[in-house]
A and B are shown apart, each in its own frame.
Chain A
Amino acid sequence: MKQFKNISFIMLVAATLFACDKKLDVLPQQNITPDQIKTASDVKALLFGGYKLMQSASAFGEQYLLMGDLIASESQVDFVGTFTEYRDVQNKTMVANNGVAQTMWANSYTLINTVNTVLDKINLLGDDEKDAIAGEAKFMRGVALFELVNYYAQPYSNGNAGSQPGVPIITAPVYAYDASKDNPARATVEAVYQQVISDLTEAAQSLPDAPEDFRAGKYAAEAFLARVYMNMGNYTGAAQMADDVINNSGLSLVSSFDKCFNNVGNSSEDIFGIQQTSQSNSGTSNGGLTTFYAAQPTGRGDAQMNANYFSFFNDDDARLYYYYEGVSIGGFSGYYTRKWEDFYKTIPVARLAEMYLTRGEANLHSGEQVGDASPADDINIVRSRAGTTPIDEPTVQDFVDERLRELGFEGDRMLTLKRLQMDIDGFSFDDPKLVFPIPQREIDVNKNLAQNPGY
């Protein structure tokens, strides 16, 4: 009897010991796992993640814009800060392990992977919104690939787009690392452009004309297509895109130049803008446009205006006066653009003013007239808003200069000079030093990636 009691006691204890296997399945509390993407709104949440990645300092929050302007810094930007990787971009002395080259690359592909996941899960959406969400995802992928090919490859205007290495094109999400297929080689520049055109075209076809919440719509896709076509020298295509935005988007130039910037929400001429708040922004201490472009004490004040910038303006041009004097964190005094004066404000990524300049210049190149305005009309609508005298017979150079006046510090200059095969800071437009290195880290881990010349 006693033995039996003991045995049953042991059995009882043993049984309780073996009962907590289920406790080992623990779900994370501030992340979700991929199998928790189950509904249409889950997929849309992933899509919205893409906007956060576009807001990053490694994208439109800073580097997509600032890096181009540091490459084409002459008459525009002087970087007086201590960050070596930024100084090296301006001096065209980048090394293969440049930190910006690394973060911009990585963030862009994180964006691509995010929207590829959206596209993979697109069937969780109903037919009423499936196409529009897919279009939005493709917009982001097209934009990211376009920015990558602009920075990490020779320009399309180089003439060898079919053989020049571009960047890897990734169109499927990565759920688990597979060394045999996740070490992609670089596609050609031509192939990247075709992917970008395909993505943006599909986006333009399926996105709404008037999106909510400052999301990307049809005209955002078209504005980027206009840039793509300009780079390719497809002036008719560029003019058509710009023309459609001008005529049909319902947007209009704001009344005065200074109202284009430091807005909460989009202005009436913002085709696409990145939104920021005090709790969601591209950075306030070591990253973000305002961090570098605003003088102390707001920002670091590392990115000052080059004094020669002022020589491009007539005295009656309101844009000439859109600056202030200040001091950098390193103690250098200088001039600062007001475009990025305040934290937590909208970053205009594509403005209507650019479309006028694009349509006008494209028509000038092609000799056609897409739309109801002449190149002079287009350049002057932008000039008159700034209160300066019109140009009767604008040349291509006038458009190049006008773009610097209107779009300076907005990341336009490098693209404009490269596509027109113009020298940049004394370097030929296709000089390897004007191209970012493929990050050394990527070369180290992916044997299929070829490095750019000079690194």
Chain B
Amino acid sequence: MRLKFLLLAVMLSCISAFAQQTKNISGKVIDVKDGSPLSGVTIKGKGSSRVVTSQPDGSFSISLPADISELEFSFVGFADITVGISDNMLVKMSASEKSLNEVVVVGFGRAVKRNLTGSIAKVSGREVENFPAPSFESALQGKAAGVVVESGSGKIGQSIKVRIRGTSSISASSQPFYVIDGLPVTSQSQSDVNNDPTNPLADINPNDIESIEVLKDASAAAIYGARAANGVVLITTKKGRNNQKTQIELNVANSWSNPSRKWSFLDARQYVDLIELAATSDGTYDFKNDLSGYETLDDAVNDYKSFYEGNILDYFSLGTDWKTQEVNTNWQDQLYNKDAMSKQIDLSVTGGNDKTRFFISGFYNDQDAIVINNTFKRYGGRFNLEHNASAKLSLGINVAVSRSQLNRVSNDNAFSTPGQLVAQLPISPLYDSTGALNKNTLYSNGLFDAQFNSDEQVTFRTLGNAFANYNIIPSLSFRSEFGADILNLDQQAFQGKETIDGGGIGKGNFITSQNVVFNTNNYFTYAPKIGENHKLNAVLGMSYQQGDVSQTFSYGEEYPSDAIKNLAGATSITASSSTGFRYTFLSYFLRGNYSYKNKYLFSASVRTDASSRFGPENRYGWFPAGSVGWVLSEEKFMENISFINFLKLRASWGLTGNAEIGESNYQALYGVSNYPGLPGYIPNQLGNPGLKWEKTAQADAGLEFAVLNNRLNGEVDYYKKHTTDLLLAVNIPATTGYSTILQNLGNMDNQGWEFTLTSRNFDGKFKWTTSINAGYNKNKVLNIGGQVIEGGGGLQRAVEGQPIGVFFMQKFVGVDPETGDAQYLDKDGKITTDYDQAERMVVGKSNPDWTGGFTNTFSYKGFDLNILFTFVQGNNVYNGGGVYMTAGFFNGFDNQTTNMLNAWTQPGDKTDVPRIGYFYGSGSRNSSRWLYEGSYIRLRNVTFGYTMPKKLNTALHITSARLYVAGINLWTATKYPGDPEVNTQTLGNIGGGQDFYTIPQPKTITLGLNVKF
């Protein structure tokens, strides 16, 4: 029956063909490079609607009306060509203009890169696969201009900060909007808010990804309207293709990781030396200033020495002989795993015929972080299926399920976190005389926490999307998608009785979170044939998204022992609750693309979004965008300029919005109060019914070119983003009963340049490609109503006239050579040694000016080599731990970094390390003393691969096999004394670029094998 229907459809569509005489044409399509057959090439008679695709062996056969004289060949990644009909055609297609003819995924559709008028960066799945990190964003770093990816630390499973063309909000989130196969997904942390945020995108298997498109300018992103101000990341998973031989692919990789950079801390000998130096320094200061009335300098120094030796060296060495360094503990080594191991295996099957296409994969991942007690395990599968039910109707599903288990350590600021073990003294033994873990350390010994605490979260994730395509008439189709992202998370933490966090009684908690995002997209695509010179493509549709989140948590304490770790062992429940919220977005969109003679390109879109996050007054926001492109290389006057193969100018303008402020923020709210016996309500939020969308207007101008036989191609963009109506928590008088109200106040600018350049240096048997991308962004806070908005632990601010997140603190300007006092600038710009007189001022910024990547790819015969450098320039990193680890004991006897050995000791010393000493040290409070240049260049990735020769494949009954070895972060150049690629402030807009005992990025060696059957 269905067959008949199909037949009917084919007959109908070919009705004109039957009316005339037909002829059969056959031939073969090959790659011009190596003569290999091309499968799946679309072949169409010019002027006819008849279409076929080439077979796996490259052969094709098509029957056409007799008056058709030319065939059009098109294939993803290859240049379209039109060839006159002949017998037994041999058609050679060339991939040389690949980048221009590449198909890119855009919102609610696809487009050829050549015809784009917006700015979209495409990163293929090949570039992110097999990267030894849980989530694909890590692998994006340095791959797309203007996309800044900050992993934040070497802990795994943490949130990853991604900024597309700068930070465009202050109080709302600045993370991009993530869409997988048309389904917006949960990307915000669902974990315990008392620890660092985690990354729900880590539930996605990077090896399932076909491509990642980053929509950067308003023209590209405005189709996502109110969700798009921070940029949109579209992820497309792998699909089967028409008439593709079923292929089985196996990936296996093992990785070994170690810290990329370590701090240089004092060893026992040096620590004892520095302690003695501090005693001398304090004694001398005391004597010279006649503070305690010592008779001689020696008396003073000896007295201080006996204090330091007695209270520190004798006390913490536990009776071992510190004078001979009987104990020399490297505490920094204790916090790292040696050669932390990661294993990854995944198997996929992909294939299809002209009716059904599929991709099936399964994966298993087991990663150990370089830091102890931090592991990530993930397994799951994906099933993508599309079926042509008839000539008009196709339908399918994309489903992925996974289970991820993350074992975590506490945040950087907790005494219990392994990162803070470096504060312990090198003279402190690991074990006491009885062989038990040393309890008598300077700070409570975090190794107890490492041993007895656990914090385990398990996520079950289902991403499912069902869709149907219906071709109403050949030029008009309708697509409907229904999807859900279901995230279930259980988090169980336990702190043992002997640990710092366990408080002597044992504490535990259990948190569950269920987050269900339902989404539907329904849209028409209209692409009428209106003559040779005109191309029109229009999209009209709607989408509706609904998120439902529910959480329960319980906290308990007083455990009989460490044996029971769940709340069954807690004899006292101190808090327990359940909460929930819902959000909805309803959107309508319309987009039209028109091109004339493939030369003049126009695009316009408008979207309206309404959300439950705003009150009825301003619930709807309008987000229009428009863009134009001009392909100069198609013009007559360019014909004679033969070295230019392609040249396009484009410009766009549009509005996008941001509503990432959480729920119920426009409403006046009363919260529940729990006074004993008198359950009640307390007004806790002032409503603002007029609250509306934060809006970003963005203008973009771009140039794309290909020259020298397409050997060199590139792209340049200039953009300016102007954010207005910032969703800002504005301070109001507390006499109202409230302290802030969310208002649309203020504006902020981002502007910048992006450059992408790819050069095929050698293109014969030996291939060498160089590509570089770089982005420059300049942010400026224009107006925030004269308020002071602090972030980053009070060290950073949003200041009008400055980029967001400037470091705002006392400016350290060296050491007085006579006294050893730290010097600062006062409010008149004069030098002062009095910290209280020192003026707080802008001393640096956390966001870089330039970011980018530099890639060289070589291949020769079976060998391939890929070398990627990434760089960041123009930012600062503040070492927040400096006040403890580089402060000369004034704030405690923490082990110090080795540069403290250069401390000032006597008048005339020229040094940048002020006088040290627990009593009379100087310069130990927060100041720009610990602010460093954060610029770096990093050898991000080197991969060397060998693909087995074809002969061997036949013998082994496989299609191909590739063995590779990769190195990540093998080399770094920076002026920062630790790892510059850290950020303890995770996702902050104002806070960023701070190191606080943060775990450095890993340095990893991967050995992997890819086999296709």
Q: Which A179-199 residues sit within 8 Å CB-CB of chain B?
A: 182-184
Instruction: Across the interface, name the chain B residue whose C-beta is closest to A108.
Output: B734
Which single member of B612, B685, B734 contacts A26 (CB below 8 Å)?
B612
Q: Once bound together, how far apart are the Cα atoms of A106 and B926, in whole Å?
A: 29
Which single member of A16, A25, A51 contacts B680 (CB below 8 Å)?
A51
Which single member of A17, A51, A102, A117 contacts B683 (CB below 8 Å)?
A117
Given that A113-B736, A114-B683, A442-B735 are known contacts, is A28 also in contact with B524, CB under 8 Å in the complex? no
Given that A13-B522, A51-B675, A109-B734 are known contacts, is A26 also in contact with B663, CB under 8 Å in the complex? yes
Q: CB of B544 within 8 A of chain A?
A: yes
Which single member of A29, A37, A174, A280 contacts B675 (CB below 8 Å)?
A280
Which single member of A20, A49, A50, A215 contacts B544 (CB below 8 Å)?
A20
Q: 1/0 contact trace for B574-593 toward A, CB 8 Å? A: 11000111111010100000
Q: CB of A46 within 8 A of chain B?
A: yes
Which single member of B575, B582, B734, B737 contacts A439 (CB below 8 Å)?
B734
**Minimum CB–CB distance for B662 against chain A, Å:** 11
Residues of chain B within 8 A (CB-CB) of A126 are none
Which single member of A51, A174, A279 contacts B678 (CB below 8 Å)?
A51
Q: CB of A392 within 8 A of chain B?
A: no
Residues of chain A within 8 A (CB-CB) of B681 are 32, 37, 42, 45-46, 48-49
Q: CB of A47 within 8 A of chain B?
A: yes
Q: Once bound together, how far apart are the Cα atoms of A425 and B670, in whole Å?
A: 43
Size band of the interface chain A makes with B = 35 or more
**Minimum CB–CB distance for A12 against chain B, Å:** 11
Instruction: Across the interface, name the chain B residue whose C-beta is closest to A274.
Output: B675
Instruction: Across the interface, name the chain B residue whose C-beta is closest to A170.
Output: B735
Q: 1/0 contact trace for B550-589 toward A, CB 8 Å? A: 0000000000000000000000101100011111101010
Q: CB of B686 within 8 A of chain A?
A: yes
**Minimum CB–CB distance for B110 against chain A, Å:** 22
Q: CB of A441 within 8 A of chain B?
A: yes
Which single member of B544, B611, B737 contacts A114 (CB below 8 Å)?
B737
Q: Once bound together, how far apart are the Cα atoms of A183 and B735, in whole Å?
A: 8
Q: Once bound together, how far apart are the Cα atoms of A110 and B584, in whole Å?
A: 31
Residues of chain B within 8 A (CB-CB) of A26 are 582-584, 612, 663-664
Q: Once bound together, how far apart are the Cα atoms of A446 and B731, in whole Å?
A: 10
Q: CB of A6 within 8 A of chain B?
A: yes
Contacting pair A24 B580 (CB below 8 A): no
Q: CB of B741 within 8 A of chain A?
A: yes
Q: CB of A393 within 8 A of chain B?
A: no
Q: CB of A283 within 8 A of chain B?
A: no
Contacting pair A33 B734 (CB below 8 A): no
Given that A51-B675, A280-B675 are known contacts, is A46 also in contact with B670, CB under 8 Å in the complex? yes
Contacting pair B683 A110 (CB below 8 A): yes
Report the tally of A-B residue pairs with Cβ distances under 8 A: 200
Which single member of B542, B582, B735, B741 contacts A109 (CB below 8 Å)?
B735
Residues of chain B within 8 A (CB-CB) of A34 are 668, 670, 683, 687
Residues of chain B within 8 A (CB-CB) of A52 are 673-675, 678, 680, 682
Q: CB of A175 within 8 A of chain B?
A: yes
Q: CB of B672 within 8 A of chain A?
A: yes
Q: CB of A177 within 8 A of chain B?
A: yes
Q: Once bound together, how far apart are the Cα atoms of A51 and B689, in whole Å?
A: 29
Q: Once bound together, how far apart are the Cα atoms of A293 and B875, in whole Å?
A: 46
Q: Once bound together, how far apart are the Cα atoms of A280 and B741, in whole Å?
A: 27
Residues of chain A within 8 A (CB-CB) of B829 are none
Contacting pair B682 A110 (CB below 8 A): yes
Residues of chain B within 8 A (CB-CB) of A278 are 572, 574
Number of interface residues of B (CB under 8 A): 65
Q: Once bound together, how far apart are the Cα atoms of A114 and B583, in whole Å?
A: 28
Q: CB of A55 within 8 A of chain B?
A: yes
Residues of chain A within 8 A (CB-CB) of B5 are none
Contacting pair B610 A24 (CB below 8 A): yes
Residues of chain B within 8 A (CB-CB) of A20 are 544, 586
**Minimum CB–CB distance for B833 against chain A, Å:** 21
Q: 1/0 contact trace for A155-169 toward B, CB 8 Å? A: 000000000000010
Residues of chain A within 8 A (CB-CB) of B686 are 174, 176-177
**Minimum CB–CB distance for B548 against chain A, Å:** 10
**Minimum CB–CB distance for B64 against chain A, Å:** 26
Given that A23-B584, A34-B670, A52-B673 are known contacts, is A213 also in contact with B546, CB under 8 Å in the complex? no
Q: CB of B478 within 8 A of chain A?
A: yes
Q: CB of A231 within 8 A of chain B?
A: no
Q: CB of B531 within 8 A of chain A?
A: no
Contacting pair A182 B732 (CB below 8 A): yes
Q: CB of A10 within 8 A of chain B?
A: yes
Q: Once bound together, how far apart are the Cα atoms of A208 and B975, in whole Å?
A: 73
Q: Once bound together, how far apart are the Cα atoms of A251 and B197, in whole Å?
A: 54
Contacting pair B678 A213 (CB below 8 A): yes
Q: CB of B684 within 8 A of chain A?
A: yes
Q: CB of A31 within 8 A of chain B?
A: yes
Q: Once bound together, how far apart are the Cα atoms of A200 and B480, in whole Å?
A: 66
Q: CB of B671 within 8 A of chain A?
A: yes
Q: CB of A330 within 8 A of chain B?
A: no
Q: Once bound together, how far apart are the Cα atoms of A17 and B542, in whole Å?
A: 7
Contacting pair A109 B736 (CB below 8 A): yes
Q: Once bound together, how far apart are the Cα atoms of A441 and B736, in whole Å?
A: 14
Q: CB of A277 within 8 A of chain B?
A: yes
Q: CB of B907 within 8 A of chain A?
A: no
Instruction: Across the interface, name the chain B residue whose C-beta is closest to A6.
Output: B472
Q: CB of B42 within 8 A of chain A?
A: no
Residues of chain A within 8 A (CB-CB) of B575 are 279
Residues of chain B within 8 A (CB-CB) of A45 are 679-681
Q: Once bound together, how far apart are the Cα atoms of A49 and B788, in whole Å?
A: 31
Q: CB of B7 within 8 A of chain A?
A: no
Q: 1/0 contact trace for A7-24 toward B, CB 8 Å? A: 001100100111011011
Q: Once bound together, how far apart are the Cα atoms of A6 and B470, in whole Å?
A: 11
Contacting pair B731 A441 (CB below 8 A): yes
**Minimum CB–CB distance for A35 against chain B, Å:** 9
Contacting pair B733 A442 (CB below 8 A): yes
Which single member of B472, B504, B676, B680 contacts A276 (CB below 8 Å)?
B676
Residues of chain B within 8 A (CB-CB) of A42 are 681
Contacting pair B683 A33 (CB below 8 A): no
Given that A26-B612, A46-B680, A49-B681 are known contacts, is A183 also in contact with B583, CB under 8 Å in the complex? no
Residues of chain B within 8 A (CB-CB) of A127 are none
Contacting pair B734 A442 (CB below 8 A): yes
Contacting pair B579 A29 (CB below 8 A): yes
Contacting pair A10 B524 (CB below 8 A): yes
**Minimum CB–CB distance for A113 against chain B, Å:** 3
Which single member of A106, A114, A275 contacts B739 (CB below 8 Å)?
A106
Instruction: Across the interface, name the chain A residue whose C-beta is closest to B674.
Output: A280
Q: CB of B677 within 8 A of chain A?
A: yes
Q: 1/0 contact trace for A406-447 toward B, CB 8 Å? A: 000000000000000000000000000000000101101110
Residues of chain A within 8 A (CB-CB) of B671 are 30-31
Residues of chain A within 8 A (CB-CB) of B619 are 24
Given that A6-B473, A106-B739 are known contacts, is A49 also in contact with B680, CB under 8 Å in the complex? yes
Contacting pair A30 B683 (CB below 8 A): no
Contacting pair A49 B682 (CB below 8 A): yes
Instruction: Across the interface, name the chain B residue whose C-beta is closest to A275.
Output: B676
Which single member of A6, A21, A44, A280 contacts B676 (CB below 8 Å)?
A280
Query: A residues bordering B, Cβ < 8 Å?
Result: 6, 9-10, 13, 16-18, 20-21, 23-26, 28-34, 36-37, 42, 44-53, 55, 102, 105-106, 109-110, 112-114, 116-117, 168, 170, 173-177, 182-184, 213-215, 275-280, 297, 439, 441-442, 444-446, 449
New A-B contacts (5) at CB < 8 Å, excluding given A31-B664, A275-B677: A25-B612, A26-B584, A30-B579, A174-B738, A182-B733
Query: B residues bordering A, Cβ < 8 Å?
Result: 472-473, 476, 478, 480, 503-504, 522, 524, 541-542, 544, 546, 572, 574-575, 579-584, 586, 588, 610-612, 616, 619, 663-664, 667-689, 731-739, 741, 788
22 interchain pairs (CB within 8 A)? A6-B476, A23-B544, A26-B612, A28-B581, A30-B580, A30-B671, A32-B669, A33-B687, A46-B680, A48-B675, A48-B680, A50-B680, A51-B678, A55-B675, A117-B683, A168-B735, A174-B737, A174-B738, A177-B686, A213-B678, A275-B676, A442-B735
